[in-house]
Amino acid sequence: MFHGIWLEKHNDEFQASLREFESVEELGDGDTVVNVEWSSLNYKDALALTDRGAVIRKFPVVPGIDLAGTVESSASSEWQPGDRVLITGLGYGEARSGGYSQKARVSSNDLVPLPANVTTQQVMALGTAGFTAMVSLKRIEEAGIQPAHGPVLVTGAAGGVGSVAVALLANLGYSVSAVTGRPSEGERLRQLGAQQILPRNDFSVPGKPLAKEEWAAAIDTVGSHTLSNVLASTRYGGLVAACGLAQGLDLPTSVAPFILRGVTLAGIESVHFPITKRPAIWQRMVDLIDPSTLSLVAAQSIPLDRVIDTAHELLAGSVSGRLVVSLA
């Protein structure tokens, strides 16, 4: 017997509940069983748990897009009982059962070995949000943008992706400007390495097609008018990594930043990011973030029976940084 969260929909009636499972067979297909120790609560999980955003593509299902734990058994010779592993994205917690249960039935092809020198709890402090921040940072580096080229802007900075992005950029020597709607988060963002805190309202309302050139690059987790204003204030030749939609799915912009300043808008999608490239990215991310920074990124851990209520708080914007979920 083990516990997990179960999402059901019958005749458009949605139900999220904590339940007991008798067998991993109830979790669907998979050649590997993982004893899940930690998961995390992402924006997408919060949407799934509250039946918003059409995140769940197959009911009934265990939600939770991230998980970390220990292999219990595997039909693959690549994985042995006791191996410490993690999974982010790849349809877990959306199209197949994911991380919010004490056991997960997964495909061995989707497993990433736990990076060295990190615990399953610490790796879930990063989770999908951290991985997305790291993939965004990688795009900035691949464009040849270095710390000497100017400040980098992070929007939605007090959220999960934003907090990790601030820490990673600062640790690499970039001067980070952090946009937040919560002035009370300013001190934590400074501790994570932000040099400048900017109010959300400066970005979230309709702006001009072009504004003063400020940012060598940006990581935008917000979309809508915010992304439009970020593009308008990005320096000549800069890059904006767009990974989120916390303000909205729309993008009311013009071609001006692209054709007059050569700005690149880079789309970031971390869910289906190639599995072969994941271990190196995880290891680099873990190497860049020390444990004290991690505790600033994810100050809170919650038990499974708090996850559904906390999802509502996250969508209401009252959660700061990352939330890790204990499956113990």
- The residues binding ligand NDP (CB under 6 A) are 42-44, 128-129, 132, 156-162, 180-182, 185, 200, 204, 221-222, 226, 243-247, 268-271, 314, 317
Which residue's CB comes closest to ligand NDP?
A: 159
Amino acid at 19: R
44 or 149: whose CB is closer to ligand NDP?
A: 44
163 in Cβ contact with 322 (< 8 Å): yes
Q: What b/e readout covers 86-119, taking b as 16+ CB neighbours within 10 angstroms?
A: bbbbbebbbebbbbbbbbbbbbbebbbebbeebe
- Nearest Cα neighbor of 242 from 125, 140, 319, 92 is 140
42 or 102: whose CB is closer to ligand NDP?
A: 42
157 or 216: whose CB is closer to ligand NDP?
A: 157
CA–CA gap between residue 131 and residue 151 (Å, rounded): 22
CB of residue 47 vs ligand NDP: minimum separation in angstroms?
A: 8
The phi and psi torsions of 162 (rounded to 5 degrees) equal -60, -45
143 or 271: whose CB is closer to ligand NDP?
A: 271
- Nearest Cα neighbor of 65 from 24, 26, 96, 103 is 96
CB of residue 306 vs ligand NDP: minimum separation in angstroms?
A: 16
Could you identify the residue written with the tokens 């297909």?
29
CB of residue 319 vs ligand NDP: minimum separation in angstroms?
A: 6
115 or 160: whose CB is closer to ligand NDP?
A: 160
298 in Cβ contact with 165 (< 8 Å): no
3 or 284: whose CB is closer to ligand NDP?
A: 284
CB of residue 255 vs ligand NDP: minimum separation in angstroms?
A: 23
Number of neighbouring beta carbons within 10 Å of residue 255: 8
Report how far Cα 273 is from the mean position of its chain's Cα atoms: 13
CB of residue 230 vs ligand NDP: minimum separation in angstroms?
A: 11
84 or 182: whose CB is closer to ligand NDP?
A: 182
For β-strands 323-326 and 32-41, DSSP reports them as antiparallel
CB of residue 258 vs ligand NDP: minimum separation in angstroms?
A: 20
CB of residue 108 vs ligand NDP: minimum separation in angstroms?
A: 23
